[in-house]
Structure formats: C-alpha cells, structure tokens
Amino acid sequence: MRRDPFITGEYYHIYNRGVEKRKIFLCNKDYFRFLESMKEFNNAKPVYSLFLHRELKRRGALDVQRLKELVEIVCYCLNPNHFHFILKQTVENGISEYMKRIGGGYTKYFNHHNQRSGFLFQGRFKSVHIKTNAQLLYLSAYVNKNRYIHGYGDDLDWPFSSFQEYTGKRNNGICNRNEIRNQFKSKSEYREFIQENALYMKEKKEDEKYLLE
C-alpha cells in the first residue's frame, strides 16, 4: 500500500518507464494500443479485454455516456521507454485501479506480440501530488513538451502526447483541457507558456528530479 493514498479531487503527476530502461513502444501500433487503453480502461466498470469492450460498443450494448470515469486525464506524453500523465482522481481508488488496468493490459499485449514474459515496467508507477495551481501549470508544460525536453525530437507532429490537443491541432477525446486552458486567453498564449518553460526545463535536464518534485 502507498504511504500516502490518492485523494479524490486532487491532481497527480504519474510516470513510469520500462524495466532496465528498455523500450516499451517498438512501433506505432504499440503507441496506438496504449492510447486506446488509456481511453477505454477509464471507467468504473470492469473491462476484461479491449476486444470485448470494442464489441460491446459496436453492438450498442454499452452505454458509454453513462460510464463513470476513474480519473480525469489532463495531460500525457508517451516516449519510447517511458510515459508521463497528469491525472485527477474522480472516484475513490481511481488512480490505482486505472494504472493497474493500464499496466497489466499493456504488458499482456506487449509480451504476447513480442514473445516475451515477465515484467515490462520498472516496478510500481511513480506519483507526485500536485498541491498548487502553479505546480499544475508548470507540470502541464513538462508533460506536454516531454518529448522535446528528453531530446527525442519536436512535438509538433508527434501524435502520442497531448501537446497537439492543447494547441488545437487535433482532438482525440482523451484529455480534459479546461482546467489548464481556461487560465489562458488563447491557445497561442498557452503555447507560448509551454514553449518558454520547456526550453528552461531542457536546459535544466540534469535537475529533472528537482523538476518532478
């Protein structure tokens, strides 16, 4: 059990990486599968498999409008060997249940398709309680521009982070952007905010542990 349980209504920075720093995404199909998991596993009812979940939706046997979400996804970024989320817990034990589904489901998929067994992620996921609005805004820039900060390349055309959702280039229905975006006059103002902060974070990459706390 975690020393400090997650509090419903509060925001958290969640992150994890592959065991032994291995890559957890080997191709675009892996990234898309993880994104689908993020979206479909986020409901209070059990999801036994993505295949069954898809079939129920296709047949109209699942009223997706009435499903209660475990968490509110604020930001995310998927990188070759790790991922970052900002989540708001919306039901009791929501974050723990959501991350158990994400980690377990994706590991089974990845192991099956790559003929491997065992753990994929480096232990239990890490979490930081976001206690102030300033910290929330700062970490939103960190997560949205994480690909750039880690030196993988620019985020402009990277479809596996929420950066494009926040800048209006696309909307895949995963994020709730209101808490962040409503604090800025326009998309361009927020874009300037994250670009400026991401540049500072990239320069301070050696102090990442400090940035995350």
CATH number of the structural domain spanning residue 193? 3.30.70.1290
Residue 171 is predicted with a pLDDT of 76
Question: Phi and psi at residue 169, in whole multiples of 5°?
Answer: -80, -30
Asked whether residue 6 is assigned to any structural domain, the reply reads: no
Q: Using pLDDT thresholds of 50, 70 and 90, give the confidence band for residue 1.
A: low
Distance CA 110, CA 80 (A): 13
Asked whether residue 97 is assigned to any structural domain, the reply reads: yes
Distance CA 43, CA 71 (A): 8
Give CA separation, 40 vs 61, 124, 194, in Å.
15, 21, 28
pLDDT at 209 over 60: no
Distance CA 198, CA 141 (A): 6
Asked whether residue 46 is assigned to any structural domain, the reply reads: yes
Asked whether residue 144 is assigned to any structural domain, the reply reads: yes
Asked whether residue 152 is assigned to any structural domain, the reply reads: yes
pLDDT at 211 over 70: no
> Of the candidates 109, 114, 116, which has an alpha carbon nearest to the alpha carbon of residue 49?
109
Partners of residue 82 on adjacent β-strands: 17, 79
Amino acid at 85: F
Asked whether residue 1 is assigned to any structural domain, the reply reads: no
pLDDT at 118 over 60: yes
Amino acid at 140: S
Least confident residue range of 55-59, 143-147, 208-212: 208-212
Q: Range of 149's domain?
A: 11-212
Asked whether residue 2 is assigned to any structural domain, the reply reads: no
Q: How is residue 205 written in tokens?
A: 């990459």
List, for residues 57-99, the tens digit of each pLDDT value. Answer: 666 655 554 568 999 999 999 999 999 999 999 999 999 999 9
Domains in the chain, number: 1
Asked whether residue 4 is assigned to any structural domain, the reply reads: no
Listed in sequence order, the residues at least 6 apart from 176 whose beta carbon sits closer than 8 Å to its beta carbon are: 72, 73, 74, 88
